[in-house]
Structure 1
Amino acid sequence: MNRQLFISLDGPKGTGKTTLLEAITKVLRADDKKVIRLCEKKSDPYRAETMALVNRLVRNPDRDLELKVCERLADSRAWISQHVLPEQPAGSIVLIDRWYPSDAAFRRILPFAEILQLNIERNVRVPDLHVGVVTAPETSWARAVARRRGLSSTVIHKLEEQVACTKAFEQAVADHNWVLCRNEGSIEDATLQVVSRIYKVLALASDY
């Protein structure tokens, strides 16, 4: 495979996504795969200004303000698509922590179809594999509150909000035929789910 394989992992807070990313990376590198780990938040040069708008949106929900947030995030992903992703080595597997699927969980007013269109119009790179990491909301909530940093979410503060976030994200996974990974058992089981799908995509890519 000469081109990069671009894979996004998204999901509600507390679903164990970061731990899963680390485990997937370890398994793939043990098989001599070249793996690059990226984080949307850390790659976004405009994140501070966008988060200031998100904080305003949390205090005063408003459709126009949410649209502005989504447009800024899409612009940032377009920038990452143009300036960060092309710099990664050919033949590598690029795993990114969050991409536009996460908007399905965290935005409350705009339909996800409209958000997706914003990203398409800006030529945001489409992952070769979308992985949605989920648990029952009560599970992710319990995991999060047990962490030293807590849920660490700007937009989710109550269990009922976590329930709504999870439900919206699972619906988007079903609507767009993304890979659903239920991370409620062992991390080894979840890792195997995702790694097996990655190898299927690699096999298809080698056929072309």
Structure 2
Amino acid sequence: MNRPFFVSLDGPKGTGKTTLLEAVTKALRADNKKVIRLCEKKSDPYRGETMALVNQLVRNPSRDLELGVCQRFADSRAWISQHVLTKQPRDSIVLIDRWYPSDAAFRRLVPFAEILQMNIDRNVRAPDLHVGVVTAPDTSWARAAARSRGLGSTVMHKLEEHVASTIAFEQAISDHGWFLCRNEGTIEDATLQVIAEIYRLL
């Protein structure tokens, strides 16, 4: 590989995305692959300011505010693309917990096509593999409810909002040809799905 193989795992809340990322990392390392794990939230130097804007949006929803949120996230991803992703070993597999596909699940007033173009215009690195992790909404809602931190979402608090998030994300998977991983069975089964797709593309 001339540059790291870049994989993003995205999806609605409670779909087991982070658990899957951990399992995929373990499986790849067991096969002697060099794996780098990143998290968009932890790599973003402007996260505090952006989340302050997200909190404003929750209190006073408007397209202008949501557009500002989308722009800030895209700017942060451009920074991560330039200052973090380029620093990773060329023979590595980089797995990131969330990237721009997640906007398809959480943004409501700005169409995802507009958000995607916003990221393209800023030269945000496109993943070599987009993994969309989904479950039936009632499954992920129940999983989230069982966690000590609950759904852990700033932007949604009701089941109907979570259902809409899941529907929107599944539509984006279909529209953009992302790899669909249904994580309703065992974590081993979901891990095998993702590993097989990574090896197919390497």
In which range does the TM-score fall when normalised by the shorter chain?
A: over 0.9
Aligned to 1:20: 20
Aligned to 1:54: 54
C-alpha deviations, 1:142-168, integer Å up to 9, x for none?
Answer: 000100111110011000000000000
* AA at the equivalent of 2:165: C
**Counterpart secondary structure, 1:199:** helix
C-alpha deviations, 1:1-52, integer Å up to 9, x for none?
Answer: 3421000000000000010000000000000000000000000000000000
Aligned to 2:102: 102
**Within the alignment, does 1:199 sit opposite 2:190 as a pair?**
no
* AA at the equivalent of 2:164: A
Give the unaligned 5+ runs of structure 1: 203-208
Distance 2:194 2:83 in 1: 27
**Counterpart secondary structure, 1:126:** coil
Aligned to 1:138: 138
**Within the alignment, does 1:87 sit opposite 2:99 as a pair?**
no
Distance 2:66 2:33 in 1: 39
**Counterpart secondary structure, 1:109:** coil
Residues 63-82 of structure 1: matches in 2 within 5 Å? Answer: 63-82=63-82
C-alpha deviations, 1:32-78, integer Å up to 9, x for none?
Answer: 00000000000000000000000110111100000000000000000
Give the unaligned 5+ runs of structure 2: none
Give aligned-pair identity as a percent. 81
Aligned to 2:188: 188
Distance 1:61 1:156 in 2: 12
* AA at the equivalent of 1:21: L
Aligned to 1:45: 45
C-alpha deviations, 1:125-153, integer Å up to 9, x for none?
Answer: 00000000000000000000100111110
- RMSD of aligned residue pairs (Cα, Å): 0.5
Distance 1:94 1:134 in 2: 21
TM-score (norm. length: structure 1):
0.96
Aligned to 2:127: 127
Pairs aligned (count): 202
**Counterpart secondary structure, 2:36:** strand
Distance 1:177 1:89 in 2: 27
* AA at the equivalent of 1:60: N
Which stretches of structure 1, 4 residues or more, deviate above 3 A after TM superposition?
none
